[in-house]
Copies of this chain bind each other. A is one copy, B any other.
Amino acid sequence: MVATLAGVSRGTASRVLSGATNVSPHAVAAVTGAAAELRYRPNLSARSLVTGRTGLVGLVVNETNERLFSDPFFAGVARGAHAALARAGVALVLSLASDAAERDRLLELATTRLDGLLVIHGHGDSALVESLVSSGLPAVFAGRTRTAAREDLWWVDSENESGAIEAVTHLLERGRRRIATITGPLDMVAGVDRLSGWRTALRSFGVEPDESLVEYGTFSTESGNESMTRILERAPDVDAVFAANDLMAVGAMRALRDAGRVIPDDVAVIGFDDSDTAASAEPPLTSVAQDVERAGYLMASLLLERIGGAETPRQEVLPTHLVVRTSS
């Protein structure tokens, strides 16, 4: 180590450079001075070799058809996670896991050079979740899936159900009664919970949920469009729609417009996520806001705790709130 040349022994220099404990002020000054002069950069590989930590965390995206990767949800989580990790000197490694081959490669990579994983899994890809869990690698999940809803895992999620309740209640309060919903796939807790919130809100207003007003989409614009079309066929008297995300809400609005319905006069529309899409939609979309950036930050913080040695799994649920715009 070059820093030694300017003062003391390697041991002392190392002590100074990685959290000075039991070092004299004199030595500290000498070492830091020398390090600055020599523009010293510690070799992280060497450090990893001996500490067993790589200072690298994977951001796993199980990207399937719906191109989760370009989803604003992903972007927000990534940004938040990056912020939390940066202050701990940990870097984020992008890891896609679309197919089985990629999943294997990911596990290979993960067990060999990552300290932990942040997992965003679009669908409840149990194979991925299971193999991650069984690998024993520290991992924190974004959102519960059927497989990941257990308390033995670490995860961060939003208050999907109460968010949905707030949205549907808002519609009910404005006199809407034939409220349809376009939810997500049944294997995603986010979709299930939002659907459940829809039912709860209706019942609390004495309205029995009409199952013919329910459609299961895939969180894409196109599926929102198709779902809305089917709802219109089955229930032409629909006067509102609550979609489980903004993209589907936008798709639904297109279907409504094509069917000659005026938004919000004939049919009110509410989305979920409060993404940029919602704000720039035509008309601007009322949406349930969830702070994805904060979710990412929390996920990373939990993961750092876990890597730091925490044993008991932690879960965190983030609040949501309704952002009212012109579509409702």
A residues at B contact (CB < 8 Å): 41-46, 48-49, 54-56, 59, 63, 67, 69-70, 72, 75-76, 78-79, 82, 86, 91-96, 102, 105, 108-109, 111-113, 221-222, 250-251, 254, 257, 276, 280, 282
Q: Which residues does chain B contribute within 8 Å of A221, judged by CB atoms?
A: 276, 280
Partner of A282, one of B42, B102, B282: B282
Partner of A92, one of B45, B76, B93: B93
**Sampled A-B contacts (17; CB under 8 Å):** A41-B108, A42-B112, A43-B49, A44-B112, A44-B113, A45-B45, A45-B49, A69-B75, A70-B75, A70-B276, A75-B75, A78-B94, A82-B96, A86-B105, A93-B93, A94-B94, A250-B280
Copies in the assembly, this chain: 2
With both beta carbons as reference points, the residue of chain B lying nearest to A275 in the complex is identified as B70
Partner of A102, one of B59, B86, B109: B86
Contacts A82-B94, A91-B93, A250-B280 aside, 11 further interface pairs with beta carbons under 8 A come to A41-B112, A42-B112, A56-B56, A56-B93, A59-B94, A67-B75, A86-B96, A91-B95, A91-B109, A94-B94, A282-B282
C-alpha spacing A70/B113, complex, angstroms: 27
Task: State how many angstroms separate the Cβ of A107 from the closest Cβ of chain B.
Answer: 10
Partner of A45, one of B54, B70, B251, B282: B54
Q: Which residues does chain B contribute within 8 Å of A78, judged by CB atoms?
A: 69, 94
Given A108-B41, A251-B280, A276-B221: A94 touches B96 (CB 8 Å cut-off): no
Task: State how many angstroms separate the Cβ of A257 from the closest Cβ of chain B.
Answer: 7
With both beta carbons as reference points, the residue of chain B lying nearest to A78 in the complex is identified as B94
Q: Which residues does chain B contribute within 8 Å of A48, judged by CB atoms?
A: 45, 48
With both beta carbons as reference points, the residue of chain B lying nearest to A284 in the complex is identified as B254
